[in-house]
Amino acid sequence: MDVKIDILTLFPEMFDIFNYSIIGRAISKDILQINTFDIREFTRDKHRKVDDYPYGGGAGMVMAAQPIVDCIRKVKCQNDGKVIYLGPRGKTFNQSMAKELSKESEMIFLCGHYEGIDERVYKYVDTEISIGDFVITGGEMACIPIVDSICRMIPGVLAKSESYMEESFYNGSLEYPQYTRPECFEGDNVPEVLLSGHHENIKKWRRMKSLVITKNRRPDLFEKLKLSTEDKKFMDLYEKNI
| pLDDT of 170 over the 90 cut | no
Strands (E), the chain: 3-9, 32-38, 51-52, 62-63, 82-92, 106-111, 127-130, 184-185, 188-189
Is 216 part of any domain?
yes
Total Cβ atoms within 10 A of residue 9: 24
Residue after which a domain boundary falls, among 97, 126, 151: 151
The distance from CA 165 to its chain's CA centroid, rounded to whole angstroms, is 15
Strands (E), 81-163: 82-92, 106-111, 127-130
Which residues are annotated as part of the binding site? 112, 131-136
Using only C-alpha atoms, what is the Rg of the chain?
23
User: Within this chain, do residues 9 and 129 fall inside the same structural domain, yes or no?
Assistant: yes
Which residues are annotated as part of the binding site for S-adenosyl-L-methionine? 112, 131-136
pLDDT in tens, 5-18: 999 999 999 999 99
pLDDT in tens, 26-43: 999 999 999 999 999 999
Residue 120: which CATH number? Answer: 3.40.1280.10
- Domain containing 14 equals 3-151
Is 194 part of any domain?
yes
Of 159 and 232, which is predicted with more confidence?
232
| pLDDT of 160 over the 80 cut | no
Residue after which a domain boundary falls, among 126, 151, 176: 151
Domain count across the chain: 2
Sequence-ordered list of residues with C-beta below 8 angstroms from that of 219, at least 6 positions apart, any chain: none
User: Contact at 8 Å (CB) between 209 and 202?
Assistant: no
pLDDT in tens, 64-110: 999 999 999 999 999 999 999 999 999 999 999 999 999 999 999 99
Is 114 part of any domain?
yes
- Residue 171: pLDDT band with limits 50, 70, 90: confident
User: Within this chain, do residues 126 and 101 fall inside the same structural domain, yes or no?
Assistant: yes
Residue 210: which CATH number? Answer: 1.10.1270.20
Can you give the pTM of this predicted structure? Answer: 0.86
Sequence-ordered list of residues with C-beta below 8 angstroms from that of 92, at least 6 positions apart, any chain: 129, 130, 131, 132, 133
pLDDT in tens, 179-228: 999 999 999 999 999 999 999 999 999 999 999 999 999 999 999 999 99
- Residue 50: pLDDT band with limits 50, 70, 90: very high
